[in-house]
Structure 1
Amino acid sequence: YTSFGSWFLWNAWFRVWSLGQILATFEINRAYATYLDRRDPAGLERLERQAPDGAIPDYAPVRRLLKNVSSLVREVQKGAVDPRDASEEILAQLRAADFVPPAFGLADPDNHWTDATTLKVLQTLQWAKKDAPDEIGELVYDGLTLFLRKRFDKEEFKVTEELKHMAAYWPVIGRVIKQRNASAS
């Protein structure tokens, strides 16, 4: 909560948190897809090893960044470091890191919006194959492609259900769907 005291520190911390969430999601996606393919719990062992630290990849440069950022924020909390200085240092570390997928703009202090558009996903896949460090590139590529393959598998993805959920937010159609579901239960 220390970062809430300064917009600049919060902005920098949010980017690091987002990176952690993105990489952890790719780890989980890869483990889930592997498990579904083989139905072998051994595919989940990597997550077990990481459990004390969440699903953050066991990749030394990522762990160093997280440790450095955590230390900086603790120093701000103690009053030993100015929040603005800490935020600039965090952003500098993000810019220097070769494992931050560039399409999401996490290392760009002028970018105040992150989302996973189709174009950004495609750019991230290309980055994963060509420019990312090998371990992160494999994680990102597998985390995206295996998840998409499994997400749209006929056993897991029911088009009619997905369309119903989407249409439920539309004013006229959604009202009808909600009324039908209420009367059916």
Structure 2
Amino acid sequence: MPATLPVWVAWPCGAAFVLGIYGLGRAVGWATRLFDPPANVFAFPAAEATFCFTLTAAGPYELACTRRGRWGNYFTLPDVEIRVRRLPDGPVQRLQPSFWNWDKRTNMEGDTTQRIADFVADVPGEYELSNPYTTQFHPGDKLRIMPSTAGKTLPLVLLFLVSGMATIGGFVVGLIAGIGGLTR
């Protein structure tokens, strides 16, 4: 006679399954808000030497470059220094792409985005981005400003993993316990 699990095990496993599904839904929502935030997102051509924008919240922001197409390892950023300052007389923050930066994202439309650097907005308000190296970018490149994703990706991945394991484990073990209870 094969070993079976007691029927009562099916109930906590069913709860784990339901909580896992809930966690997966929350993780998808979190990922959507993280990589496509509803506010403080700006995109403008890299050929534009100066760009003024208004941030409604203080905190870390990411400057990235988006290029049409799937570039993979062939997407390299030029060695430039882009400056951000709070208007009218805020301190200047110098942003340069890191040699070690391989953080590339490709969206569903096929655009590849690579992070240049992060800057900190100390207070909400008007900011100016200065790009004196406009000719070093490819035609059609866009610079993009959005809330920083640094430090938020690992908890998101862990939430996906734990929720997925709870969903699959709860379903499989609950199914085994439920079927074992039916065959008795």
Which TM-score applies when normalising by structure 1? 0.23
Determine which structure has the larger helix proportion and give its number.
1
Structure with greater Cα Rg? 2
Higher strand share: 2
Pick 1 or 2: higher relative contact order, CA cutoff 8 A, min separation 6: 2
